């Protein structure tokens, strides 16, 4: 049985070479300390959670083999997005990262596909880099944060990027940063900024894409949401109610929000069988794909083994999640 993982992060080797030499990488520095130390980006600290973030592609392949994962769809570790940088620096960061991911996909085309990172602080530059990533480097789309320097994705300046992605057939994978979600107040008490705050952001981007009219404006846009879309599916009844009773909720859309659920894809990182079963029952097995959050989530025995062992899923549903949906979505 084949397996393709859309949610597999990268802290690039160009980053580690720079910080190991004692220098900052586009403003991000490494600080040794408790455990494996931290990276500091724009004043925000991010714990280095596992030695795997330093893995070379060869080491990564051995880990994938141990977990029974055939292919990683590689995307940058979210604290390194670089949206806060000046546009010229943001463009160069994106080029360096995308070139490294593309080199992995060229050397091991059966094991790696790639998602670009984009300098979205400059929308024209982001469109240009997406075009280069997809049409020159052969990447499959881009990973995006759920907000851009405090701005939501339904702001008019971002629509040309969505239109461009739609025209290129690029897949957009939305993944929030734990360091700046609504629950993060500097000290992550009880780690709820990660366990709860992240999935709240997932639900908010679902609501933004729907209520902002982006899915209507770009009917062929292909979007995947991390962490099963968080509580978006569970909360869809409230969103539908708001659409019915509040005129501002109908400003951009003529159908209830729940009518858009199947316009999106969702990875299976729900961390529980009941949540995944709920998601499948509401969006359909053809809209859910394998994700692992590599290397930050420990799986027992592996992300593939977890899906295979779920008793409430049929063999057909497991095949769709593990490889069939992504093979089609990414034209692999």
Q: What's the confidence (pLDDT) of residue 196?
A: 87
Say if 37 falls within a structural domain: no
- The span from the CA of 172 to the CA of 24, in Å, is 29
| 241-252: pLDDT as tens digits | 999 999 999 999
Q: Which positions ≥6 away from 151 have C-beta within 8 Å?
A: 158
| 67-112: pLDDT as tens digits | 999 999 999 999 999 999 999 999 999 999 999 999 999 999 999 9
- The span from the CA of 289 to the CA of 172, in Å, is 14
Q: What is the mean pLDDT of residues 125-134?
A: 98
Say if 26 falls within a structural domain: no
Say if 50 falls within a structural domain: no
Where does the pLDDT of residue 195 fall: very low under 50, low under 70, confident under 90, or very high at 90 and above?
Answer: confident
Whole domain around residue 64: which residue ranges? 4-12+56-329
Q: How many domains does the chain have?
A: 1
Q: Residue 287 CA to chain centroid, in angstroms?
A: 15
- The span from the CA of 305 to the CA of 214, in Å, is 36
Q: Given the DSSP bridges, would you call strands 112-114 and 171-174 parallel, antiparallel or unpaired? A: unpaired
Q: What is the mean pLDDT of residues 190-207?
A: 89
C-alpha dist (Å) from residue 149 to 84, 119, 198: 7, 12, 16
| 221-234: pLDDT as tens digits | 999 999 999 999 99
Please tell me which of 3-17, 168-182, 287-301 the model is most confident about, judged by mean pLDDT. Answer: 3-17
CATH number of the domain that residue 280 is part of: 3.20.20.140
* Closest-CA residue to 282 (of 305, 264, 306): 264
Say if 227 falls within a structural domain: yes
* Closest-CA residue to 54 (of 20, 26, 12): 12
Which pair of tokens denotes residue 284? 């359909």
Where does the pLDDT of residue 192 fall: very low under 50, low under 70, confident under 90, or very high at 90 and above?
Answer: confident
Say if 306 falls within a structural domain: yes
pLDDT > 80? residue 256: yes
Please give the full DSSP string across 168-237, using - where no structure is assigned: HT-EEEE---GGGSTT--SS-GGGHIIIIIHHHHHHHHHHHHHHTTHHHH-TT-EEEESGGGGGGTTTHH
Residue 190 exposed, middle or buried by CB count within 10 Å (0-12, 13-18, 19+): exposed
- The span from the CA of 20 to the CA of 307, in Å, is 38
Which pair of tokens denotes residue 328? 């089609």
């Amino acid at each position: 049985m084949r397996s393709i993982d859309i949610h597999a992060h990268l802290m690039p080797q160009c980053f580690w070479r720079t910080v190991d030499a004692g220098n900052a990488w586009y403003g991000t520095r490494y600080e040794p300390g408790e455990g494996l130390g931290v990276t500091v980006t724009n004043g925000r600290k991010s714990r280095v959670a596992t030695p795997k973030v330093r893995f070379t592609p060869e080491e990564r392949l051995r880990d994938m083999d141990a977990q029974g994962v055939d292919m990683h769809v590689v995307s940058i570790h979210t604290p390194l997005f670089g949206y806060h940088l000046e546009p010229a620096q943001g463009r160069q960061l994106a080029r360096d990262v995308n070139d490294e991911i593309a080199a992995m996909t060229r050397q091991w085309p059966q094991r790696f596909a790639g998602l670009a990172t984009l300098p979205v602080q400059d929308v024209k530059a982001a469109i240009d880099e997406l075009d280069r990533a997809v049409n020159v480097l052969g990447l499959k789309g881009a990973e995006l944060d759920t907000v851009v320097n405090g701005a939501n994705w339904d702001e008019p300046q971002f629509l040309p990027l969505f239109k461009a992605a739609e025209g290129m057939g690029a897949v957009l994978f939305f993944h929030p940063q734990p360091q700046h979600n609504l629950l993060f107040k500097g000290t992550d008490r009880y780690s709820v900024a990660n366990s709860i705050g992240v999935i709240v952001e997932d639900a908010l981007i679902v609501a933004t894409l729907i209520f902002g009219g982006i899915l209507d404006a770009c009917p062929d846009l292909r979007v995947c949401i991390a962490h099963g879309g968080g509580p978006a599916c569970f909360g869809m009844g409230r969103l539908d109610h708001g659409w019915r009773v509040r005129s501002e909720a109908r400003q951009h859309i003529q159908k209830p929000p729940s009518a858009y659920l199947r316009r999106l894809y969702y990875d299976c990182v729900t961390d529980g069988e009941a949540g995944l079963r709920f998601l499948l029952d509401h969006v359909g097995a053809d809209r859910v794909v394998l994700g692992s959050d590599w290397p930050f989530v420990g799986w027992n025995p592996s992300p593939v083994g977890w899906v295979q062992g779920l008793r409430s899923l049929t063999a057909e549903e497991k095949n769709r999640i593990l490889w069939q949906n992504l093979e089609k979505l990414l034209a692999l």
